[in-house]
Amino acid sequence: MDTTSEQGLPPDEAERIAAICEGVGDDPHRMLDILRAVQDELRWISPAAMGLIASRTGLSRIAVEGVASFYAFLSQAPKGRVTIRLCDDIVDRFAGMPEVAAAFEAALGIKVGETSADGAVSLEYTPCIGLCDQAPAAMINDVVLTGLTPGRAGDIAAALKAGQSPEELIAQDFLDLTPHERATRQVENNIRHAGASLLSPVPDGAGLAKALDMDPVRIIAEIEASGLRGCGGAGFGTGRKWRFAAETEAERRIIICNADEGEPGTFKDRVLLTERPHLLAEGMTIAARAVGASEGILYLRGEYVYLRDLIEEVLQDRRDRGLLGQGIGGQDFDFDIRLQLGAGAYICGEEGALISSCEGLPGEPKTRPPFPVTQGYLGLPTVVNNVETFCHAARILDQGAQWFSDMGHAGSHGTKLFSVSGDCLRPGVYELSYGLSVRELLAMAGGEDAAAVAVGGASGTMIARDQFDRCLSFDDLATGGSVVVFNGSRNILEIVEYYMSFFVHESCGFCTPCRVGNVFLHKAIGKFRKGLANPEDIEYLKDLSGTIIETSRCGLGTTSPKPILTTLENFPLVYAATVKPSKDRIRASFDIQSAIDDARHMAKRGSEIFDEDYSE
């Protein structure tokens, strides 16, 4: 069966694919790396390519297709040599992306979603790429461009047509720059406030040096005593997580860093990855020592591919200095980190889905129990923590649990990075102690005009002015870091509709309520926006949201209705103002004029019933 699919592959392509597979030892668990490489080189994953990859890795063709068809950055139709991905996030839209997109379309002569006939350029939309503080932004192959304008879009299109490489758009001497220079030429850090833990100057290697002198049990005790909780959003106790993994009997244990920050409006890990990559590696190494792991994976979201060289360089540097690899610190302690790139899937920020993705599978969450700390990556005890969490851990080992615990307030200790974007004067990253109010943060960011704030991004809480005194902490407004500011001119329903379209796009589709229910929620919001909703549709939204939350398998489905529920609660008039009550029990929400419009055009005549001033 598989052999038939291999036919029709040009010999040079077959050779290149074989070489890619061989480069990862034909390991099916490296499927994402293989498919990414094939996509980069051949610009698509053809059926024939899938057949060859399947036979090299010992999988069935359908298994390869399952992975290839899951990730947004992998394509089963030929893409242009240059793929322009315009960030479609609501912040980018409000910052002028529609005009930028129109300029690209005009200059390239193709619509969004199309590839030029000569195979040179593809133009498409992609959800939040983590650059909301410098929107509108776009990815062009492996580089990113920020602060786009229609004029700049025209220049970019012209340069690409003239044969410039995407890298040359950044700098003519791009390849001569250091990886750090390359990253900072593309993206501003926008660090607006440096707190004590992460963004103020940090000593190199101090935490790891202390950890190497400590008993693993004491390292975990120190982390537990600090009160550090996961910074990705869920807030599970980091020390406890490490302890569970350490206590599970196993030959091998795994440390995974979740650098897949995909929540719309979140970009704080981007800054840590750029400015504190050593601290991150240090934190992962400390975790490895604490739980007895020798293998680490840094899962970098595909949107941050522009940071790949920077991170690879840091990892190599640490290997060269004996801080990664065998016998770290002259002790009987081996640990190394592999960089795993994602390929466009928000769901991979979910712990189980991230592990699935690292294993070369579609990014589907795993059934729990078992939990990753006992059976995670390849069935091995696995610690998955966020970038920020690992960085804090390294600082805690250096400065002590008490130092960290004294910051913030009860239940929410330490500092937190907030990514602030949208309608404010100073968008960027703020490192602040937990417990400040939204109002205080808005004042720092120059967002006092805000009418609404999405705390925690799409899956967070949308609050109105009367709640700006609420507190940013695990007990009140929890957030993985995203704080998106909207002024009074923004249409709340447009924001909600965007967030729901985001969840429809990003649901993995494994379970019924999330796969199907979110589509219905999105359609229902569309009815509200068009003024075609009935009064009972408000109850419908609440009821359907409740079912999705109660029956979904993972955190995506249990939070996806939140944009609707929190706006229904905090902006009820927005909904009430648009509904159309039935008159004489005839639904005002059914639009007969639009329903007969196609037929009117085809028949070239009006309606005998509805176009006259008809009455019985």
Q: Determine the longest span between alpha carbons in the chain, in angstroms.
A: 95
Q: What's the CA gap between 64 and 38, in Å, rounded? A: 12
Is there a contact between 319 and 339 (Cβ–Cβ < 8 Å)? no
61 counts as binding another protein under rule CB under 8 A: yes
Using CA atoms, how far residue 17 sits from 13, 56, 331, in Å, is 6, 9, 40
**Of 153-161, 393-401, 470-478, 546-554, which segment contacts another protein by CB under 8 A?**
546-554
Q: What's the CA gap between 543 and 105, in Å, rounded? A: 41
172 counts as binding another protein under rule CB under 8 A: no
* Residue 585, phi then psi, degrees to nearest 5: 65, 20
613 counts as binding another protein under rule CB under 8 A: no
Using CA atoms, how far residue 595 sits from 532, 591, 592, 601, 607, in Å, is 13, 6, 5, 12, 11
| CB 537 to another protein: min, Å | 12
| CB 604 to another protein: min, Å | 8
321 counts as binding another protein under rule CB under 8 A: no
Judge residue 616's burial from the number of C-beta atoms within 10 Å of its C-beta, 0-12 exposed, 13-18 middle, 19 or more buried.
exposed
Tokens, residue 520: 């219905």
Among 17, 34, 52, 63, binds another protein (CB under 8 A): 63
| CB 540 to another protein: min, Å | 8
234 counts as binding another protein under rule CB under 8 A: no
Among 544, 564, 568, 579, binds another protein (CB under 8 A): 544
**Of 27-35, 297-305, 391-399, 594-602, which segment contacts another protein by CB under 8 A?**
594-602
Pairing of strands 412-413, 461-464: unpaired
Among 101, 508, 564, 568, binds another protein (CB under 8 A): 508
Q: Which DSSP helix (H) or strand (E) runs through 160?
A: helix 150-161
Tokens, residue 213: 């002198």
85 counts as binding another protein under rule CB under 8 A: no
Beta strands in 217-293 (DSSP E): 254-259
| CB 351 to another protein: min, Å | 16
586 counts as binding another protein under rule CB under 8 A: yes
Name which of 61 and 301 has its Cβ closer to another protein: 61
Is there a contact between 33 and 24 (Cβ–Cβ < 8 Å)? yes
Of the candidates 350, 390, 377, the one whose C-alpha atom is nearest the C-alpha of residue 508 is 350
Name which of 368 and 409 has its Cβ closer to another protein: 368
12 counts as binding another protein under rule CB under 8 A: no
Among 167, 222, 260, 506, binds another protein (CB under 8 A): 506
Is there a contact between 144 and 167 (Cβ–Cβ < 8 Å)? no
Distance linking the first and last C-alpha atoms of the chain: 67
345 counts as binding another protein under rule CB under 8 A: yes
| CB 271 to another protein: min, Å | 29
Among 285, 507, 545, 559, binds another protein (CB under 8 A): 507
Among 547, 569, 572, 576, binds another protein (CB under 8 A): 547
Name which of 80 and 513 has its Cβ closer to another protein: 513
Distance between alpha carbon 352 and the CA centroid of its chain, in Å? 15
Tokens, residue 38: 């094939």
- 561: which DSSP letter? T
580 counts as binding another protein under rule CB under 8 A: no
**Of 214-222, 407-415, 456-464, 550-558, which segment contacts another protein by CB under 8 A?**
550-558
Q: What's the CA gap between 285 and 581, in Å, rounded? A: 61
338 counts as binding another protein under rule CB under 8 A: no
| CB 533 to another protein: min, Å | 12
Tokens, residue 96: 């002028």
77 counts as binding another protein under rule CB under 8 A: no
User: What residue type is assigned to position 383 of the chain?
Assistant: V
| CB 13 to another protein: min, Å | 19
Q: What's the CA gap between 190 and 135, in Å, rounded? A: 12
Phi-psi category of 440—alpha, beta or left, where left has phi over 0 and alpha has psi -120 to 50?
A: alpha
Q: Among residue numbers 350 through 409, which ones bind another protein (CB under 8 A)?
A: 362, 367, 369
**Of 67-75, 178-186, 208-216, 249-257, which segment contacts another protein by CB under 8 A?**
67-75
| CB 564 to another protein: min, Å | 15
| CB 82 to another protein: min, Å | 24
Q: Which residues of 454-477 are buried (b: 16+ CB within 10 A; e: fewer)?
A: bbbbbbbbbbbeebbebbbbbebb
Is there a contact between 229 and 350 (Cβ–Cβ < 8 Å)? no
581 counts as binding another protein under rule CB under 8 A: no
| CB 71 to another protein: min, Å | 8
Tokens, residue 604: 């070239």
Which residue is listed with tokens 């796009």? 505
**Of 137-145, 259-267, 348-356, 543-551, which segment contacts another protein by CB under 8 A?**
543-551
608 counts as binding another protein under rule CB under 8 A: yes
Per this entry, what is the length of the chain? 616
CA dihedral 185, 187, 189, 190 (to 10 degrees): 110
| CB 545 to another protein: min, Å | 11
Among 417, 463, 504, 564, binds another protein (CB under 8 A): 504
**Sign, Cα dihedral of 176, 178, 183, 188:** negative
- The contact mask relative to another protein for 235-274 (x = CB under 8 A, - = no) is ----------------------------------------
539 counts as binding another protein under rule CB under 8 A: no
510 counts as binding another protein under rule CB under 8 A: yes
| CB 595 to another protein: min, Å | 4
598 counts as binding another protein under rule CB under 8 A: yes
81 counts as binding another protein under rule CB under 8 A: no
User: What residue type is assigned to position 217 of the chain?
Assistant: V
The count of C-alpha atoms lying within 13 angstroms of the C-alpha of 301, restricted to the half-sphere facing its C-beta, is 28
The count of C-alpha atoms lying within 13 angstroms of the C-alpha of 445, restricted to the half-sphere facing its C-beta, is 31
117 counts as binding another protein under rule CB under 8 A: no
Of the candidates 75, 39, 68, 154, the one whose C-alpha atom is nearest the C-alpha of residue 108 is 154
Is there a contact between 335 and 171 (Cβ–Cβ < 8 Å)? no
| CB 607 to another protein: min, Å | 5
570 counts as binding another protein under rule CB under 8 A: no
530 counts as binding another protein under rule CB under 8 A: no
Residues that bind another protein (CB under 8 A): 1-2, 4-5, 47, 60-63, 65-66, 69-72, 345, 362, 367, 369, 504-513, 515-517, 519-520, 523, 540, 544, 547, 550-553, 582, 584-587, 589-590, 592, 594-600, 602-605, 607-610, 616
